[in-house]
Amino acid sequence: MNPFDEKVRSCLEDEIMEPDTLHTLEERVLARYRGTRRKKAAQLFLMMSLLFSGLLFYTANTESVFADKLRSVPILKEFLTAMDISPAEEKSVEELGILSESGKYDVRLQYALSEDKRVFLYFQFPEEVVLRENDHLEIELLDVYDQVTKKDYSMTFMKNLNPGMPPSNNGYIVIQGFIPAGMDLSFPEKLHIAFRANVARNVSYDHWGTRSAEDEPLGEYRYDVELQKMEKRILERVGKKVLIDGNTLVIDQLERGLKTLDIVVSQPKNNNDIITEISGYMRDGKTKKIIDEDITVSYSTKTGEIHALYLNGEEIPEGGEVEIVLEDAILLPKDQQYITIDMQKKEMIHPIPGVSLEMASAGKRSALTFITESNIHPFDTYKTSASAEEKRLPHPGVQTIGENRTKWSYVIDEDLSDEVVLRRARESGRKVVFETPIVIELKVPSANSFTPIP
C-alpha cells in the first residue's frame, strides 16, 4: 500500500460519524430537492426542455457521434420538477448524462454536486427496475479512484448502501463521498467510480436477524466522471475555547460547504475527562431562530474524543452570525477508560464505579459477564497481554436484572488465559446536563466567496 493509501485508510478508519450522519446528510439533500420549482423558473426550463426535445427528434435517427452523445445528456425537466434548488445550488449542478458501458440496464450518472470535501452523484435507474413492497435496492461500491494518479478514494464512500428508490424520485439515487472536517485531503476532479447493484425481492428477517430474500442481480456499473464545477470549501481559523465541566473544548476551524457547516474541534491533553459527546442546536445569532435542531459529531475510534461537529449550512443568516447552544455532554474519565481483568484470579484490577465483574471463564471459548448500574453498553474493544491489537467485542447477551441494573455477557472465540484489557464504550461515561446552556458565538464566512477550484 502506498503512503497516500495508508494515510487515507488510517485517517478515515479513525473517524466515525455519530449514528446516521451520512444518511442524515443524504436526507438533507433529498429533502431540499422535493417539491416543485417556482413558476418562472419552471417555465424557463420547460422551454429549454422543449428545445432540447426538438434537437433529440432531429438527431434520433442519425448515426453520428454527436447524436450518440446528445442522447446521453439528461433532460432537466424530470429532475428539476422533483427538486427545489436554490439559485446558488442551481449554478453548481453539473449535467453529466454518463451511461455505463456495463451492467444489465441503462443506469446513467445524470447529475453531480461537488466540492473538495463532498461529492454527491445522482444516478438514475430506468423504469424497468421496479421496487415493490419489501423489495430493497442494494448498492455495493467496488472502487473509487483518481483517474489521473490512480489513488484510491473508496474509503471516502460508504461501501454498502440501501438507498431505496421511491417513485417520486424518478429512479434517482444518491451516492456520496465524504472527507471528514479538518482532514488534509481533497477529492480529485476526475473520478472513476464503480458499483454493483442488486434488487433484493421479498426481504424478510427471522427472530435471529437472519436475512431472507430473492436476489435479482442488476450487474456492475462503471463511470469516468470529470467534475468541472467542483468548488473549494471556505476555511476559517477560530481558536475559541469552551469550558465543559472543567474540561476544555477548542473550536479550531470552521469549514463552510455547499450544504453543511463543519466545525473542527480538539481537546487538550491535560483534560481530566474525554469529551465523547455533546448535544445541542444551532440558532441565528440575532433572531435566535433555530437553524439546526441537532448537532452531529464525528469521533476517534482510538481515543473516543469528538473531532468535529456537523450542522446544516443551508440556512446560515446573511451576516453569518450564529450561536451553537450546548445543552449536555458525556464525559469519560481518562483514568477509567480501560479496565483490566485478571483471568486467573477472576477479578478486576482497579475497579471502576458502577461496573462489577460477575464471572470470568477462560478456554477455547472465553466468557466475561458484568453487571452495570445503567443500561448503557459498557465496553467496545478488548486486547490481551499477548497482543496489543484491539479487537471489537462480540455482541453481548443483555439481561435487565433490576431497576438500573443490567447484566452483560460476552462470549469470545479466543483463549483468554492471562490479563484482558477492555476499553469502555464512549457512551458509558457520565452525562452532564448544563443548568445554563453553553452558548458559543461564531461568525460564519460568507458562502458568496465560493470559487471553482482552478
3-class state of residue 289 by DSSP: coil
Tell me the DSSP string of 390-410.
EEEPPPPEEEEEETTEEEEEE
The CB density around residue 184, as the number of other CB atoms within 10 Å, is 7
Mean pLDDT (whole number) for 208-219: 80
More confident residue, 402 or 291: 291
Angle at 118 between CA 26 and CA 12, to 5 degrees: 95
Q: What is the DSSP letter of 152?
A: B
pLDDT at 22 over 90: no
Identify which has the larger pLDDT, 232 or 330: 330
Report pLDDT for 260. 85
Q: pLDDT by residue (tens digit) across 137-194?
A: 899 999 999 999 999 999 999 888 887 666 556 788 889 899 988 888 999 999 999 9
Confidence of residue 13 (pLDDT cuts 50, 70, 90): low
Whole-angstrom distance, CA of residue 196 vs CA of residue 211? 19
* Rg from Cα positions in the chain: 26
Report pLDDT for 204.
Answer: 79
Average pLDDT, the chain: 80
Contact 289, 331 (CB under 8 A): no
Express each pLDDT in 112-128 by its tens digit.
989 999 999 999 898 88
pTM of the model: 0.74
CA gap 107, 194 in Å, rounded: 12
Q: Which residue type occupies 40? A: K
How far out from the chain centre does Cα 246 lie?
Answer: 31
Provide the pLDDT for residue 297: 92
367 against 91, higher pLDDT: 367
Q: What is the pLDDT of residues 409-445, one digit of tens each?
A: 999 998 888 899 999 999 999 999 999 999 999 999 8
Tell me the helices (H) and strands (E) count for the chain, helix number first.
Answer: 6, 27
Q: Which of 390, 377, 238 is nearest to 303 (CA)?
A: 390
Question: What's the whole-number mean pLDDT along residues 213-222?
Answer: 90
Cα–Cα distances (Å) from 72 to 64, 147, 175, 205, in that order, read: 13, 21, 20, 40
Q: Is the pLDDT of residue 86 over 50?
A: yes
3-state helix, strand, coil in the chain (%, to 5): 15, 50, 35
DSSP assigned state of 168:
G
Amino acid code (one letter) for 381: T
For the segment 264-319, what is each residue's pLDDT rounded down to a tens digit?
Answer: 999 999 999 999 999 999 999 999 999 999 999 988 888 889 999 999 888 888 88
Report residue 330's pLDDT band, with 50, 70 and 90 as the boundaries. Answer: very high
Question: Any idea which of 158-172, 313-327, 358-372, 393-407 has the lowest mean pLDDT?
Answer: 158-172
Cα angle 452, 109, 187; round to 5 = 40
User: What is the per-residue pLDDT for 119?
Assistant: 92
Q: What is the pLDDT of residue 272?
A: 96
- Taking CA atoms, 381 is separated from 376, 384, 410, in Å, by 15, 11, 11
